[in-house]
Structure 1
Amino acid sequence: MTEAFGAMAVLDPSPGPTDEQLATRAQAGEVGALGLLLARHQAPMRAVALSVLGHGPDADDAVQDAALTALRRIGDVRDPAAVGAWLRAVVRNACRMRLRAAGRETPGLDVLPDPDRMWTRDAEPGCPERVIERHAMRDWIWGAVEELPQQLRLVVMLRHFSGMTSYREIAAACEVPVGTVRSRLSQARTRMAQVLLASEEQAHDDAAALNGASRQEAVATLEAWETGGLPREISELWPAESEMVGRLGRPGERVHPVPVMRQYLEDGVRQHLRHVVAGREIAIWEMDVTHPGALHVCPPSLAWVMFRSDGRVRRLRVVFPAASP
């Protein structure tokens, strides 16, 4: 935890600009201001986590989650002068989510302030996709995500930008133990803080454009498979070397995704696109599933986790979020 904050604290966290000034500058996209703000409030944020979760890795993880939330959401803070209270509320919210996921939430936590209601500007519901699209620093953040090694990048995308946020679900998606997920997230947070500062002045991809293009590909792919024909651009997305891996693959045998998905379609399973999060090399398409009269009954949701190069899908892993790792 210390390393992650230390990497962002490139400015001396001694008294200087006010919280309001730093928050305003951070909202305008000044990375150093955000680093100083997080360094300044590291101790009170950690104190909140310890008061709710006690000493241990969960408290550290909650503070780290809150730091990344601040990166994504600083542009939404309604009152920059109250940014310290907002950061503490974000930590409480992260703690509450951890307790709820573990079935340990106490009634008293239900009355804690919700940072979305109390300190953020009125906006559309907090879907991660919409948050990124309206955030002033979206491309800078995604530039940092893209600089992470692929294994770390995937856990960050799942944890912070998809509907599969629990460690158990992420472990199932990555086919690794839960402890490995925790370790990779810790590494990713530290690396991301370092990359964010190193890439402050660089140009970045348009995150909204990447997401939008991937959504169009998802819609076109589903429509093409339902009609039984793949237009040229969709065929290029799924070249002959594409491989199905994970639960729907066959160990030791290369399986192309198209016939597998068509078989499920013929069996009566229908997939409906719900959410997309995409970078240059990893894309996640989350689906709702219906199966009226289907031969096979599938879980109500699934996700396609795709690994790409040169714009084409090389590996596809279909993940069922409710499945055990």
Structure 2
Amino acid sequence: MRDPAAAGAWLRMIVRNASRSLLRGTVPARPIDDLDLPAAESGPEHLLERHALRDWIWEAIDQLSPTLQLPMLLRHFSLGVTPYERIAEACGVPVGTVRSRLNQGRSKLAAALAVTADAPHGDSAQRTRASHIEAGETLAAAERGHFGRLMTERWSPDVLLLRGNEPVGDRELLVRGMDGDLEVGVRQRLVQAVAGRSVVIWEMELLNPADHPDHCPPSVAWLLTLDDTGRPHRLRLVHPRPVQAIQALSPM
């Protein structure tokens, strides 16, 4: 679905039809009037942004495979990693593959919306708040010199740093990179957390020291893939803006 206007109308139709099916069924109806759907001319980006924390939409998104879910989350939910080129960089695939996966994701989302209309929905807002707290605690631990300890306690023991789809380091590299940047005065400030069941996005502002204002680019997105126990086990770090050179031993 390449026409944004058509995509918006299509997604509204799926939501409406699923709602009608739910109301006609024997399962007790769950009110959805508060979805406040936008006008037909609005594209899917507007619809998804407006309802990012609505449980029904999230339940459907969580049905997507990680391969399809990550491009969808970046395109429709992130603040800075929305261009196709940045998504391609994050996923380690060509731009054409990104477009294909987004089209597949939208198609599967339509089916998932219908399937999950009368299913129990998790509290997506609570999950996002918990992820926001987790990100804050992670940054606070790092500033106290306890990033490695926190990773041992909360992250998978086989965590890997990826660039695209290629592993470039493990836990030790992540700790060295974080500690090294903190030693020169770089700080991170959480701007937004987006939390699915298997994929989490933490978008950070990077604050450089006054005497080294170009040490890091202005921002970075942590793209965390979670294992079956909910612990991060794969991490990609993506800069919304192109970066000419990134230090080999720094995750920023």
Task: Quote the residue 2:35 is aligned against.
Answer: 75
Of 176, 185, 195, the match for 2:93: 176
Q: Deviations over 1:122-159 (max 9, x none)?
A: xxxx994x7534xxxx1111111111011100011111
Deviation at 1:279, TM superposition (A): 0.9
Q: Is the radius of gyration larger for structure 1 or structure 2?
A: 1
Q: Normalization by structure 1: what TM-score?
A: 0.60
Q: Could you tell me which residue of structure 1 aligns to residue 125 of structure 2?
A: 208
The residue aligned with 1:322 is 241
Q: Which residue of 1 aligns with 2:188?
A: 271
Tell me the residue number matched to 1:32. Answer: 19
The structure, 1 or 2, with the larger RCO (C-alpha pairs under 8 Å, 6+ apart) is 2
Q: When the two structures are superposed, what TM-score results if normalisation uses the length of structure 2?
A: 0.75
Task: Work out the CA distance in 2 between the residues paired with 1:34 and 1:275.
Answer: 35
Superposition pairs of residues 15-164 of structure 1, within 5 angstroms? 31-33=18-20, 75-76=35-36, 86-88=39-41, 90-91=42-43, 128=49, 131-133=51-53, 138-163=54-79, 164=81
Amino acid of the residue matched to residue 105 of structure 2? A
8 A Cα contact 1:303 1:321, kept in partner:
yes
Alignment counterpart, residue 196 of structure 1, candidates 113, 121, 127:
113
In 2, the alpha carbon distance for the partners of 1:32 and 1:243 equals 42
Q: What is the Cα-based RMSD across aligned positions, in Å?
A: 3.6
Equivalenced residue count is 224
1:242 deviates by: 1.5
One-letter amino acid of the counterpart of residue 317, structure 1:
R
Question: 1-side partners of 2:83 and 2:150: how far apart?
Answer: 35
Q: Which runs of 5+ in 1 are unaligned?
A: 11-22, 36-72, 78-82, 95-115, 117-125
Distance 1:144 1:169, change over 3 A: same
Instruction: Give the corresponding residue for 1:48.
Output: none
CA distance in 2, matches of 1:241, 1:300: 29
Instruction: Give the AA of the match of 2:64.
Output: L
Task: Give the 3-state SS of the residue equivalent to 2:131 in structure 1.
Answer: helix
Instruction: Report deviation, 1:218.
Output: 0.2
* Larger helix share, 1 or 2: 1
Distance in 2 between residues matched to 1:245 and 1:149, nearest whole Å: 18
What CA distance in whole angstroms lies between the structure 2 residues aligned with 1:278 and 1:8? Answer: 23
> Deviations 1:247-288 (Å, cap 9, x if unpaired)?
8x864x545423322222113221110011011111000001
1:306 aligns with 2:197: no
Residues 7 and 194, structure 1, Cα contact 8 Å, conserved in 2: no
